[in-house]
Every structure is written in structure tokens, then in C-alpha cells.
Chains A and B, each alone.
Chain A
Amino acid sequence: MLEMRHIFKSFGRLRVLEDVTLAFAPGRVHGLLGENGAGKSTLMNILFGLMAADAGEIVVDGRAVRIGSPRAAQALGIGMVHQHFKLVPTLSTAENLALAMRERPGAVGLRAEAWLERLGWKLPLQVAAGKLSVGQQQRAEILKALLTTDRTAQGKSGRTLILDEPTAVLTPQEVGELFAAVRSLKAGGDSGGAAVIFITHKLAEVESVCDEVAILRRGRVVHAGAREGISVGGIAAKMIGEAAAAGPVEAAVRGRAKGPVKLALRGVRAGMLRGVSLEVRAGEILGIAGVDGNGQSDLLAALVGDLRLRAGKVEIGGRDCTRMGIRERLKEMAVIPDDRHRLAAALPLSVTENLLLKDYRRRPFSRAGVVLPGAWRRAAREAVRAFDVRTEGVSIPLARLSGGNQQKVVLARELGLAGKAVVVAANPTRGLDIAATAFVLRQLRAARDRAGGGAAIVLIHADLDELLGIADRIAVLYNGTLTAAPAKTKEAIAPLMLGMGG
């Protein structure tokens, strides 16, 4: 029996895990569920020795243990298969296994073959890992986890196998084969049944493979128990928050007519998107709900012009701009990407420079290609005041500001300096505290309701509570397909987010 008791973990001021206590029994598959950022990965990284908890203990068979590294975890029989594989692509599977075991490839081969036979898998051990399919690479990773915990698994504590969203990358058939393997590991054999910790977003998988269900929400355990003890709807409600799931959210009744269609996608196929169509009118917010990884980043890229379409059209202001580059689209479009540090700002540059990141070319900020720093500073001071950015000055690097204030700078640039007709925002409140979150939502509302024609806003957002509070309409992006929500309620939307119904 493996237990995690009273685990706490913070990153800076952000509390990621609060008093998490869970037990993982051998011979059972433990589903670990929760929204993005609920703390699942952090918890498992602590269990696997990749991070240290701030407080709390890990207990194996009644004895408290210290897990300071993955090697220590493996010595205790704990193996982990990460979402992103960690194979050396130029080495064969056998060599990758040997690398992990610190043994010669020949010595590892036989044991690997034995496992393959037991799991009923086929995997060419001598082929370079980079040439394997994604499903095969995952098998190699699982083999690695099994072999590195083999020696200790013979002991009394047994084996614990952590699978971090293993089905995200698999085809339906591969999912079926993975589940068969998981059941076989759980049943065990000579070495006794393993405890399998199965991290997932997908409720259907919980039903078909899990024996126990633990649900994290905002770093706390909100439910733990046998799977029979809770309905699928109950799981969804626990994941997303019971209070908000209780009833329909009142749509704000606003007495103004919506404007013309300002932004439209027509049958867009690109990246993960499989025929996405949508229309947004001036003065409305279309919320795109869904769990990240279902095409959210591709939708943003397709709207902005950073992704080539296989089929379909993008229209801005009624004009076909499918073939336009980013620069041209930005004339009409404000963009607030979710990856603030990578896409929205340049942290080493000053607050001023970040505020002028898009407007530097127009007057009064430059003339004939020569920049006019005075105008930059004036505009920056004005924007900092208008958006209440807390900063020592406009010439300090953006990196020195807090996350909330960095986001205010981005908002000031996108919503303040020039009121664009179309706004595309993705997870604009991610990582922000309550006050900053409220500020961001208020600004989006202000852009929608501004006098003289509000903006048409697409809000791609993983936080359903916030979406319900601000969006005029909601559609759900699941597995590259966009489905309009039948009603603006949690009950109507949550199953769609998890790939059920619709």
C-alpha cells in the first residue's frame, strides 16, 4: 500500500496542492481526475521524486519514505510514464531501456521480451525509437517503467505505475490495447498486482478501466473512493465545481442589438481542427469551452494567421482573409494569446516597448521608419494609468512586473491603444489572482460594450465558470470539433467538454 499524506506544495504565492491525502492500493486502477491546473501532475511529480513537497509524507507499507529522485522512486517500485516521452530518438528501444537501467542492451533484451509476451504486445526492440509510432513509443516508455521497477516489485510493497494522460496521443484501437495491458498489470501474476495511477480528463475512460476515482480541484481532494460510488455526472460536477454546476447561469439581458458578423470561420480544417465553423457579431462574446489539447492552440493560430489551412475560409469584417498574413489581420484584430511569455510579450523589453509592440509603425510613434521615443513614453504612461498597471516605471523590463500586471500591459496594448473590431483571447486569466482575473474580465466586457460598435470577441477559455459568467454564447471544442452548447448551463456543457453527448 502506497500513501501520500497531507501533501502541500506552492509555487511562489500560488498554492498548487493543499493537504492532499490519497492511498493507492495494489491490484487497483486509480483514476486521478481534475481540470488543467488542478495539481495532478504536480502531485505525481512529487510521488516520482521530481519535486519535493513543502509538507507532508509518503508512506510505503506503513513506513515513511523520502523520495528525493526518480531513482529513489524506482527503488521503491514506483514507475512513471510521462505525457511527453523521454526516449532518445536515435537509439533503439533496447538501447533506451539499457540506458534507463544502466545495463548493456543485451542484458535487458530478454527481460523486455518476457514483458512483451506477458502483455501480448509487439514491439521491435532494435528499431530506433524515433522511427516508432507514437503508440509504440508509449509501449517503450511503459516497458521502461516496468523494467526499472522490476527488482523492487518482487518485494512486499509491489509496483506502482503512474500513467500521465496516456490516451491523449493514442488511436482508439491503441487505447483498447493499452487498457488490456493495464488490466493485466493490475491482475499481476508472479509478482502480485500493481497499483496503477491513471491520470485522465476523459470520463468514458474512467468508466471502462478505473476501480477507484480521486478528483482534484484547485489543489484539494474533492472526492476519493470506489468508482461505483459516484456517477459520471457526479464526477463531472466535482471536477468543475459543484456550486457552479447547481443551476443555470442567468444570461445577462442587455438591451442592445447585436451588430453585423465581424469574424467568421467556415469549415476550417487545420492542425487538429476538423471542419470548424463559427460566426461572431460585433458586441458579443463567443466563449469556446473545452479542455486544452482539443485544438485550442490550433484554433488560436488559425484565427491569427499562424497556421496554414487545409480547407475552409477565415473572414474578418466580411472580407475573406484566409490568405492574409498575421500583420494584415492584426489591423482589424486584437490578440491576447494564452502563452503570455512566449507569444504575447518579450519579457526582457521594457514596459513601453511591450506596449508599443504592434503600434510602433504608425504615427505618432514613428515617422518614415524612424522611431519617436517621446511619443512612446507618453503613450506608455497613459496606458499604464488607464489600465492601472503597477510598475516602478515604464522603462523597466516587463519581467520585473507580476504576472497580473504583465497581463494588464498586454490588455492595454490589445484593448486600449486602438479599439480593434475583433478580439481573440485565449485563457486570458490563466495564472492570475482573483483581483487580476476580475480586471481582465471587466476589460473584455468593456471592449464588447464600448460605445460606437462593440468588439466581436472570441474567448477560448478552459475555465468554464468564468466563461459562463461572461460569454453571450458558448461552443465546445472537443477533439478538433466545435459544437454549439444547447444551453448555457454547466449540465449542458460539461459532458461535451469531456467528449460525451453532443
Chain B
Amino acid sequence: MRLLRRVFLPLVPPAIAVAVSIGLLALGLALAKYPALSLLREWFVAAVGDRFNIEVAIKNSCPLLLTGLAAGVAFRAGVLNIGAEGQSILGAIAAAAVATRLLPGLHPSGAAISTALAAAVVAGALFAGIAAGLELLRGVPVVLSTILLNFVALQLLGVLLEGPLKTHLTQAVQSDPMPGAFWLPLIGGSLVVHAGVLIAAAAAVLAWGMQSRTTLGFELLVTGLNPAAARYAGIPTASRQGLVLLFSGGFAGLSGAIQTLGVGGHVLTPTPESYGYTGIAVALLGRLHPVGIAAAALFFALLDQGAATLETSATPLPHETADILKGLITLALLTSASLLANRRVIASQTAMEGTTKAGSAAEGRAV
């Protein structure tokens, strides 16, 4: 019963949100005179019935899982880091800088990759650290500074790709290709994916362990739920929130690096894929729990991949349909969460009255 409550109950709001959103999308498609049901079926089959699509989705879910973790660890501690996008760009820049300019000859592959990843983590964390510092020293709300720093990161990427990181091989605005030693190796048997999967999974395990098994995780949890009580319990909330922002930035930085070192042409381009923003939705759908975030990341990546196939179906749908569905899910999730919160308040009040009655009757005898 307890297991059921702990594992099953948290799944209810996301499940409802997804079901309602698919329903709404189907309704919208039907109103637009699309064959909604057959399109949904086609979408589903394309997403999970095609080996190539699954492989790509798993690859794409890696950066999404990491930005999801970035948002998740921060949100859980009450820190609204909306800057995973910028932090992940900084991670990508750091990885590309190490691979193409600073240490291009680094060997063997293990050393090369871990150096690039470490640089990315540090870059992402430091970039988030700007927001942490602004909050700590000047009281600038993190939710504002992080979102604004996203644009700074994007511009910085553009400047670097026009300047010190620009390739001499083509006229295109992009970096040199990463040297082979920096490519994430391919792994797997029946499904071929890159080693980023292992890194992302390790990050999720690390985040879970930190949150649920360390005193720091407990401090962050209390801070997120009730900062005033945390302060009165002696938890230095400001510095803990600053610290979690660094962690969060580190995860996001890792995400950018994995994308740069693990995908296709292995070059850095000035148009990132917005995994930072999608990570927020992933974190919400995953209910800020690392396992949930991993599942949500894979789900979103599968949606995207399936939608790409729909463009070539008999009644073609633009692949942006997947973005619409993601948006609907996020909205539905926020709504159901607040509805449920209200119900829970009412339920706990009723429960409270019951226990008071029982409690005071029993105490009456004891006094």
C-alpha cells in the first residue's frame, strides 16, 4: 500500500496531463479535418516501432535529460533556473574550445573526452554562478538573470564562431570539426547509441543520490519547500541555493558538451537546439525526480522523432505538432498539479479534524 502510494500516486498528474493533451490535440486535428485517430496511431508506430527512430530519440534524450536535471535540481530547492539554455551553450563552447583550439591533440580518447566534459561542466557552472553571485550580492532574482543570460550566451556563441573558434575549412559560420579522439564512442548491441547515454544516466543517478541520500539534498529540499523554516533550522539557505545553481549549471553545461561531441558532424553551429528550454517542461513532467525526468526526456524525444516521420505521411503534418503537444502537456500538468494541490489541502484539513477529535478525546483521559 505504501509502495503503491509512493510510486503510483506521483505518476497520476503526468499521466492525466498526457492523456488530456493527446485528447485535445486529437480534437484540434479533427476540427481541422485531419484523420486524427489514424495520424495518432501512425505517430505512435513511427515513434516506437522503428529502430532508427528509437536510436535517434535515445541520443536526443541525453541532452534533454541533462537540461531536465538542471531544471529539476534547481526547482526542487526553490531556485528558478530558467538559464539551462545559456549554461548548456557555455558547455558546448567549452567542449569545442578544448577540442579544437586548446588541446586538439589530446590522446587517448578517454582523457580527451573527460577533459572536454569537465571543461563543459565548469563553464556551465560558472555561467550559472554569475546569476548566483548577482542574487547573493545584489539581490537580482535568479529567474530574471538566468533568462537574460541565455541571450548573452547565444551572442557569445555567435561572436566566438565568427572569431577565435571559426573554422578555416569552409566559409560557414561554425567551428572546426572535433578531432576524432573527442567523439563520444558508439555503444550498444541491437540499438546503437553513443556513450552520452551512459553519461546522462550517471548524471541522473548522481542527482538522485545527492537529493535523497545526502544532508545537502535534505537541506535543499527543506529550503525549496519552506525557506523560512529552513533558515530557522539553521540551514544557510542563500549559500545552499547558490550552490544548487552551480550544480544546475554543471548539468546544463554537460548537456551542451554531449550534444557537441556526440552528434552527427561534430561541429559547433550558432543555432543551438533549445534543449535548455525544453528541459523545463521535461523536469515538470518528470515531477522533479531524476527517474521521472529520464522517462520524460525519452518521451519527448520519441514524440519529436515520431513527428518527423509524420511530415511524409499520406496526410502530412508539420513536425511542429510535437511542440504543440509538448506545450499542451506542460499546461495540463501545471493545471492538474494546482487542482490536485487544492484537493490535497481540503483532504488534509478533513483528516486533521478527524485526528484532532480522536487525539483530544484520548488526551482528555491522560491529563
* Chain A residues positioned under 8 Å from B367 (CB to CB): 435, 438-439
Is chain B's interface secondary structure helix, strand, loop, or mixed overall?
A: helix
Residue pair A369, B355 in contact (C-beta under 8 Å): no
> Are the C-beta atoms of B229 and A402 separated by less than 8 Å?
no
- Verify if B271 is at the interface (C-beta below 8 Å from A): no
Q: Is B9 an interface residue (CB 8 A)?
A: no
**Count of A residues near B, CB < 8 Å?**
45
Most chain A Cβ neighbours within 10 Å, of B217, B235, B362:
B235
Whether A308 sits at the interface, judged by CB under 8 Å, is no
Most buried by A among B233, B352, B367: B233
Smallest CB-CB separation from B352: which chain A residue? Answer: A402
Closest to B209 in A: A370
Q: Which residues of A contact B235 (CB under 8 A)?
A: 327
Q: Which of B34-42, B133-141, B151-159, B220-228 contacts A (4 or more CB under 8 A)?
A: B220-228
A436 CA to B352 CA in the complex, in Å? 14
Given A402-B352, A402-B359, A403-B352: A357 and B233 interface contact (C-beta under 8 Å)? yes
Residue in contact with A371 in the complex, picked from B218, B225, B357, B360, CB distance below 8 Å: B218
Interface size on B, residues (CB 8 A): 36
Cβ < 8 Å to B, chain A residues 258-283: none
What's the Cα separation between A325 and B214 when bound, in Å? 23
The answer to whether B225 and A349 touch across the interface, beta carbons within 8 angstroms, is yes
CB-contacts of B351-367 with A (<8 A): 351-353, 355-360, 362-364, 366-367
Chain B minimum-CB-distance residue to A362: B215
B106 on interface, CB distance cutoff 8 Å: no
Q: Which of B213, B221, B232, B359 contacts A337 (CB 8 A)?
A: B232
* Interface: A304 (CB within 8 A): yes
Question: Which residue from chain A places its CB closest to the CB of B221 in the assembled complex?
Answer: A349
Residues B234 and A390 in contact, CB atoms below 8 Å apart: no
A326/B360 in contact, CB under 8 A: no
Quick one: closest A residue to B235, CB to CB? A327
Are A435's CB and B236's CB within 8 A? no
Q: Would A439 and B221 count as touching, CB distance under 8 A?
A: no
- B165 → chain A closest CB, angstroms: 39
Asked if B226 contacts A366 (CB within 8 A), the reply is no
Closest Cβ of chain A: how far from B100's Cβ, in Å? 38
Which of B213, B218, B226, B359: most chain A Cβ within 10 A? B359
Query: Nearest B residue to A376 by beta-carbon distance?
Result: B218
A348 at the interface (CB under 8 A from B): yes
The answer on a CB contact under 8 Å between B232 and A344 is yes
- Asked whether, in the complex, the Cβ of A345 is within 8 Å of the Cβ of B352, the reply is no
A439 touches B236 (CB 8 A): no
Say yes or no: is B168 at the interface (Cβ < 8 Å to chain A).
no
Interface membership of chain A positions 354-388, coded 1 if the CB is closer than 8 angstroms to chain B and 0 otherwise: 00011011000010011100000000000000001
Q: Which of A344, A371, A404, A434 is within 8 Å of B229, CB to CB? A: A344
A306's nearest neighbour on chain B, judged by CB, is B231
Evaluate contact between A353 and B352: CB separation under 8 angstroms: no
Is the C-beta of A395 less than 8 angstroms from some C-beta in chain B?
yes
CB distance from B232 to the nearest CB of A (A): 5
Give the distance in Å from the alpha carbon of A346 to the alpha carbon of B359 in the complex.
21
B130 at the binding interface (Cβ < 8 Å): no
Determine whether the beta carbon of B226 is less than 8 Å from that of A342: yes
Name the residue of chain B whose CB is nearest to the CB of A401: B355
- Asked if A343 is an interface residue, CB under 8 A from chain B, the answer is yes
Q: Which residue of A lies closest to B341 (CB)?
A: A348
Q: A156: CB under 8 A from chain B? A: no
B348 touches A (CB below 8 Å):
yes
A10 and B230 CA atoms in complex are apart in Å by 32
Q: Does B312 contact A (CB under 8 A)?
A: no
| Cβ of A77 to closest chain B Cβ, rounded Å | 36
* A369 and B215 within 8 A (CB): yes
Task: Tell me whether B349 and A371 are in contact (CB under 8 A).
Answer: no
Bound-state Cα–Cα, A120 to B353, Å: 52
Q: Which of A304, A390, A439 contacts B355 (CB 8 A)?
A: A390
Asked if A345 and B229 sit within 8 Å, CB to CB, the answer is: yes
Given contacts A371-B214, A435-B367, whether A357 and B222 have CB atoms under 8 Å apart is yes
Find chain A residues with CB under 8 A from B357 CB: 13
- Which A residues, 315 to 334, have Cβ-Cβ distances below 8 Å to chain B? 325-327, 330
Chain A nearest CB from B290 CB (Å) reads: 17
**Bound CA–CA A216/B310 (angstroms):** 72
With an 8 A cutoff between CB atoms, is B118 at the interface? no
A12 part of interface (Cβ distance < 8 Å): yes
Is the CB of A399 closer than 8 A to any CB of chain B?
Answer: yes
User: Are B229 and A343 neighbours in the complex by a CB distance under 8 Å?
Assistant: yes
Given A346-B222, A388-B366, A435-B363, A405:B355 Cβ within 8 A: yes
Within 8 A of B (CB), among A392-443: 395, 397, 399-405, 433-436, 438-439
User: Which of chain B's residues have a CB closer than 8 A to the CB of A306?
Assistant: 231-232
Which residue of chain A lies nearest to B362 when distances are taken between CB atoms in the complex?
Answer: A390
User: Are B356 and A13 in contact (CB-based, < 8 A)?
Assistant: yes
Can you name the residue of chain A whose Cβ is closest to the Cβ of B224?
A346
Measured in the bound complex, the distance between the Cα atoms of B347 and A399 in whole Å is 10
Task: Confirm or deny: B216 has a beta carbon within 8 angstroms of a beta carbon on chain A.
Answer: yes
**Could you tell me the distance in whole angstroms from the C-beta of B207 to the nearest C-beta in chain A?**
15
Q: Is the CB of A402 within 8 A of B232?
A: no
**Taking the nearest CB of chain B, how far is it from the CB of A379, in angstroms?**
14
Residue A335, interface by CB 8 Å = yes
Q: Which of B234, B355, B360 has the most CB of A within 10 A?
A: B234
Identify the closest chain A residue to B236 (Cβ). Answer: A327
B228 & A370 in contact (Cβ 8 Å cutoff): no
Query: Can you name the residue of chain A whose Cβ is closest to the Cβ of B219?
Result: A360
Query: Which of A342, A353, A404 interacts with B356 by CB under 8 Å?
Result: A404
Given contacts A327-B236, A369-B214, contact A439 B353 (CB under 8 A): no
With contact pairs A344-B229, A400-B351 given, residues A353 and B236 touching in the complex (Cβ less than 8 Å): no
Whether the pair B214, A12 counts as a contact (CB closer than 8 A) is no
Q: How far is A386 from B341 in the complex, measured between Cα atoms in Å?
A: 32
Question: Of all chain A residues, which has the CB nearest B225?
Answer: A346
**Are A358 and B352 CB-contacts (below 8 A) given A370-B214, A402-B359, A435-B363?**
no
In the assembled complex, the Cα of A89 lies from the Cα of B366 at a distance in Å of: 53
B2 at the interface (CB under 8 A from A): yes
Bound complex: CA of A220 vs CA of B218, how far in Å?
A: 46
User: Is there contact, CB below 8 Å, between B359 and A358?
Assistant: no
Q: Is the CB of A371 within 8 A of B215?
A: yes
Between A and B, 11 residue pairs with Cβ closer than 8 Å are: A306-B231, A346-B225, A366-B215, A370-B213, A371-B217, A395-B2, A400-B351, A400-B352, A401-B355, A405-B355, A435-B363
Given contacts A306-B231, A337-B232, A388-B366, 19 further A-B contacts (CB under 8 A): A325-B234, A325-B236, A342-B229, A344-B232, A347-B226, A353-B222, A366-B214, A369-B215, A371-B215, A397-B348, A399-B348, A400-B348, A400-B351, A401-B352, A404-B356, A404-B363, A405-B359, A436-B360, A438-B367
Residues of B bordering A, CB below 8 Å: 2, 213-218, 221-222, 225-226, 228-236, 348-349, 351-353, 355-360, 362-364, 366-367
Q: Which residues of A contact B (CB under 8 A)?
A: 12-13, 304, 306, 325-327, 330, 335, 337, 342-349, 353, 357-358, 360-361, 366, 369-371, 388, 390-391, 395, 397, 399-405, 433-436, 438-439
Smallest CB-CB A-B distances: 3 pairs:
A327-B234, A435-B363, A402-B356
